[in-house]
Amino acid sequence: MLGYIRRQGSKLFRFGSLFLAFLLVVLIGTLWKNQRYHDFSGRELTLKIVTNEAVVMVDHEGGEATLTGSTDLFLDGGVQTIRYMDRMMQCTVVWSSGNYLYTFSDGTSFTLPPEQVNVARFDLSDTYDLTPLQQEELALFATMQVLQNKGSTLPVALWKGLISLIVLLIGMAMLCFPAAIWRISTRLIVRDGEPTEWALISSALAGALPICTAFLMPFVW
């Protein structure tokens, strides 16, 4: 394995980087698209704008779903409100538990820990006993809250992609050129020395960490 890397390092770096970069671009593009669109009662909502004052999504008929109110419920208190069609939903903080309290358009309510908001964009029916109306309104609220907290504009997606790509290339360089990376990392403490096989293998295997990190960053950052 190490001998193959030595002989084919440049080719492996070139083609491996292109392939993994393509996968990374597809991943980030898919995540960005999934954040920009949301299906609500058979209507596809598309992100229109994210500002400090509001998040606005629009359907194909021009109807707007608008999230207004406090940008950070834990810091500012207050209420977040979504208005769409003839529905109004609200979210506040239950200070005694630190959970979000969602009030739906039918007057019912539901509490949810803040760390589960991202999951609530999809489906919580297996975890909680929610009615169809509660599930769809909670998913819309969670989607718009995530957009408000993290943003989902093209510049943000491109910035994440650039950082992830740099980390990916560093990992590929460590994997494909272990001897060169070893010399660079030890040039200040070693003179006229050669790396052992173990040093080269360790350097190559260490490249897997940045590669994996590059694919995890779009999810957690």
- C-beta neighbour count of 175 within 10 angstroms: 23
Q: Give 7 or 181, the one with higher predicted confidence.
A: 181
What three-state secondary structure class fits 92? strand
Q: Are 67 and 145 in the same domain?
A: yes
Q: Are 17 and 66 in the same domain?
A: no
**pLDDT band for position 156 (50/70/90)?**
low
- Domain boundaries, position 17: 2-29+154-220
Region of poorest pLDDT, from 17-21, 84-88, 117-121, 152-156? 152-156
End-to-end CA separation in angstroms for the chain: 34
Among the candidates 102, 125, 150, a domain finishes at 150
Closest by CA position to 73, among listed 112, 47, 42: 112
Please check whether residue 35 lies inside any domain of the structure.
no
pTM assigned to the model: 0.60
Q: Are 54 and 11 in the same domain?
A: no
The winner for highest mean pLDDT among 79-83, 129-133, 162-166 is 79-83
- Looking only at Cα atoms, what is the longest distance across the chain? 77
Give how far the C-alpha of residue 126 lies from the chain's centroid of Cα atoms, to the nearest Å.
23
Residue 58 has pLDDT above 90, yes or no: yes
Q: Are 46 and 142 in the same domain?
A: yes
Q: Are 25 and 53 in the same domain?
A: no
